[in-house]
Amino acid sequence: MTHDSPLTRRKLLAAIGGVGLLAAGPRVVGALGGDPAFTRYTYAQSASDGPDLRVAWYERYNGTVLEESNRFSAAAPLTNSSDSFNASGDAGRFVDLTGPDAVDAGPVFSIPNAHPGDEGLLLIGLRAEDADARVWLGVDAYAFAENSLVEPERAANDTDETGELQDYVDVELWYDTGRLGLGGCNGRRDVTEEAVVAGGTLAEVGDALAGGIPLEFGLVDDACIAAGTQRCLALRWHLDPVVSNVVQSDSVRLDIAFAATACDEATNPFGGDA
Amino acid sequence: MSDGDGGIRLNRRRLLAAVSTVGVAGALTGRGAAAYLTDSETLADNRVSAGSVTLALDGAARRAGIEFTLDDYGFEHRDEARLCLGLGDESNPAWVWIRACPAAPVVDALDARLTVDAATVYTGSLGGLLERLAGPDGGGVLLTEVAGAGDPVTPGADGAVCLTVAVWAPTALADDPDTVRALKAASPFRITVDAYAEQSRHVPTPRRPVAGANPSFVFPACEEPTGERGGYAISNVSLCTASSVDPAAVTWSVRDPDVTGRVAEGFAVTVTSPVPIRDAVVKAGPTFRRFDAGGATTITVSSTGGTPLDVPANVASCACDGEGVKLDDWNETTGTFDDVVALSCAERGGSEDGGGPPGQSGDGPPGQSGDGPTEQSGDGPPGQSGDGPPGQSGDGPPGQSGDGPPGQSGDGPPGESGDSPPGQHGPVDDETNGGAEIPGSGGNGPPDGDDT
């Protein structure tokens, strides 16, 4: 899911004229940052269209780290610790996927041969550069493909042309903030860590998040991600060991999109309810 | 912008410009600029595809059968069947279980040898082999355990395992006609092999597909072996010819058993007629079987071959259409048919012109069938049809003759189920039998990303 701005970058620059000239550095931003009206503009990012959100992630599949974003900076891989994410964030290793400097991340997880009993984790770090940001999450699950109907599927009375995998992958999505801000970003759900949405099947979670929701990290009563800091979101998936054979060779796709706005923004960038 | 010394120097004009510019931007915000003053990051096109575990058998999907026919004289020959099992090319590695069910105990009398990839892994009685393949609890054995270490099967042809089963009769059977008779009765018999594949990922220890050990799949219970139930020997043979035939010119020889010793019952008979034979109808037990001769003058019939006929049990009195000859009254002592009589039937199982046996259910006057046309009553000795005496239906009131047939046919059906071996072990039945399955590991198991 992409978030299309009604204004192109060129138009935006024209509208607010001269912003690029102000791309002088943190001090200027800091000087102007006292006014909430200004904080939404990432002056330091003259090439950006607005608040600058950057992401980092790592993916674990059956306990093995397969994909992680520090490969773009040739840095040590992210690990399941707050320190790892914090250090990477502070070192500017969170990546931009949308701007002119965007990296082409490709799919952050691609599981070609899932088995019942498989499980995976996608840990996503979200960093607000330079300005506080409210982050919205939209998830789109689609392309529920049957692919081929292998014999065990037919034997299980699977005859249609739509896949069933999305109904058998269980998804849990939570704010991996740790306890009182400590110990987050570890991919293990602490009892104090709240769910983003009620867990359910991939199809159900996709339905719940298709219209987007604001993320409420809830640290010290502040739903926003403060400028220059990062928060983690964890998505754990699991293919039930006792699924029936109807899922064999099925596939599903999944887009996970984040949009950053000003903290007091009430309009849902994904079009859903605020 | 930083100049030279690293400090940031902003002159007032630029700073003012900055402030004013920001002011403009603030105005934009007031017009609902939120929609574009955002940044977005999308982690797109992530995907999960489920793998598969598919069994590949020779042709059949989930159940394979090896059928051995002990034909009339087949005992001196070794009968061999080969069965290859494996996983589909697109499959994942899996544990493959196979299970054979025990057959009738009489097969213990046969010898068998199992070879896997040219290595002999079993030699002994066929019953012992089936027992081994059934496993101690009916859960079968791992395919790779039959000959090997019992590892998961790898997909594709390379991982397939071919079992070759050879079956033969030991020479000792030559002195055991009763066992031979029982074997013939059980033949052809089928060994059904069930196969089940289960992913090996997350399943570090193969789970026997039996209740309590495998929550995903359990082999269906084996049918009870049918025991040493004697087969039906031939009671009589009706030779249906194109023209009338002199009974005295008909010769026959009992072809079995292919052993020494007294021939107490006939299971296969070769008959030679002086005129072309159209077909022959054999009565063995309750069942009539038709053998097409196609105009030959010699035909070999058996108690199990041919095409079972759906005819009343009393058809035996005139099993042909038109002319024929009937070999009847098997004599256990001499091993011959004592009575060979000419037939002249109007229609097979004819019912209208007096050819009908007693009990054509009172179509005609009661007396008609009993009094019968001369040749009919003369040919058919009492008890020919094995049941009601001819006189009974003839003499009796209509109701009485009506009693006859039910009794007659009532003799038959119970035996039917035991009559046709092909049904006993069930042919391929891929409805009831679960096959390849991705199942559940008992728990998430230790993560292992080995074959991702």
Per-residue model confidence as pLDDT tens for chain B (452 residues): 433 444 434 333 333 332 222 222 222 222 222 233 567 788 888 888 887 877 776 544 455 666 666 554 345 567 777 888 888 888 888 888 888 887 777 778 888 899 998 899 999 988 899 889 988 888 899 999 998 889 999 988 888 888 888 888 787 777 777 777 777 766 666 777 888 888 888 889 998 988 898 888 888 887 766 543 445 678 888 888 888 888 888 888 876 654 444 456 677 788 999 989 999 998 877 778 889 988 899 998 877 778 888 777 666 567 787 888 888 887 777 777 888 888 887 655 443 333 333 333 333 333 333 333 333 333 333 333 333 333 333 333 333 333 333 333 333 333 333 333 333 332 222 323 333 333 333 333 333 333 33
On whether the CB atoms of residues A180 and B82 are closer than 8 A, the answer is: no
Please check the confidence at residue A172 and state whether its pLDDT lies above 80. yes
Q: Is the dihedral of CA B340, B345, B348, B351 positive or negative?
A: negative
**Pairwise CB contact (< 8 Å): A248 & B54:** yes
**Whole-angstrom Cα distance, residue B132 to residue B103?**
12
- Both A250 and A128 in a single domain? yes
Count of other CB atoms within 10 angstroms of residue A134: 25
For B75-102, b/e burial (b = at least 16 CB within 10 A) is beeebeeebebbbbebbbbbbbbbbbbb
- The span from the CA of B92 to the CA of B452, in Å, is 10
Q: Can you tell me the distance from the alpha carbon of B17 to that of A20, in angstroms, rounded to the nearest whole number?
A: 12
Confidence of residue A78 (pLDDT cuts 50, 70, 90): very high
Q: What are phi and psi of B66, to 5 degrees?
A: -115, 120
Same domain, A14 and A98: no
Enclosing domain of residue A34: 8-49
CA–CA–CA angle B239, B240, B244 (5° rounding)? 105
Q: Cβ of B48 and A114 within 8 Å?
A: yes
| Residue A267 domain-assigned (yes or no) | no
SS3 call for A145 = strand
Asked, for residue A266, whether it belongs to a domain, the answer is: no
Could you tell me if B268 and B259 are in contact, meaning their C-beta atoms sit under 8 angstroms apart?
Answer: no
Q: Are residues A14 and A95 in the same domain?
A: no
Is the same domain home to A241 and A111?
Answer: yes
Strand partners for B195: B98
Position A234 scores a pLDDT of 95
Q: Are residues A146 and A194 in the same domain?
A: yes
The more confident residue out of B37 and A87 is A87
Element holding A140 (H helix, E strand) = strand A134-145
**Is A270 part of any domain?**
no
Tally of domains in chain A: 2
Q: Is residue A272 part of a domain?
A: no
Q: Is residue A271 part of a domain?
A: no
A217 domain-assigned: yes
A73 located within any domain: yes
CA distance B113 to B104: 18
Is pLDDT at A75 greater than 80 in this prediction?
Answer: yes
Pairing state of beta strands B2-3 and A110-114?
unpaired
* CB contact B39 to A (< 8 Å): yes
Task: Provide, as residue numbers in chain B, all residues whose Cβ is less than 8 Å from the Cβ of A245.
Answer: 436-438
A70 and A80 inside one domain: yes
How far B429 CA lies from chain A's nearest CA (Å)? 12
pLDDT of residue A159 exceeding 80: yes
Q: Quick check: B52 and A150 CB within 8 A?
A: yes
Residue A157 shares a structural domain with residue A132: yes
Give yes or no: residues A68 and A30 share one domain: no
Question: Do residue A130 and residue A58 come from a single domain?
Answer: yes
Same domain (yes/no): A136, A35: no
Contact A113 B55 (CB under 8 A): no
Contacts of B36 in chain A (CB under 8 A): 5-7, 12, 49-50
Residue A146 lies in a domain: yes
Q: Do A13 and A88 belong together in one domain? A: no
Are residue A149 and residue A227 in the same domain, yes or no?
A: yes
* Among the ranges given (A49-53, A215-219, B160-164), the one the predictor scored with the smallest mean pLDDT: A49-53
Q: Please say whether the beta carbons of B266 and B233 come within 8 A.
A: yes
Least confident span in A29-38, A160-169, B41-50, B147-156: A29-38
**What CA–CA distance (Å, rounded) separates B90 from B105?**
40
Q: Output the CA–CA distances (angstroms, integers) from residue B103 to B125, B163, B260, in the order listed.
A: 12, 18, 26
Q: Is B452's CB within 8 Å of A111's CB?
A: yes
* Closest CA of chain A from B225, distance in Å: 28
Collapsed DSSP state (helix, strand, coil) of residue A87: helix
To the nearest whole angstrom, how far is the Cα of B241 from the nearest Cα of chain A? Answer: 51
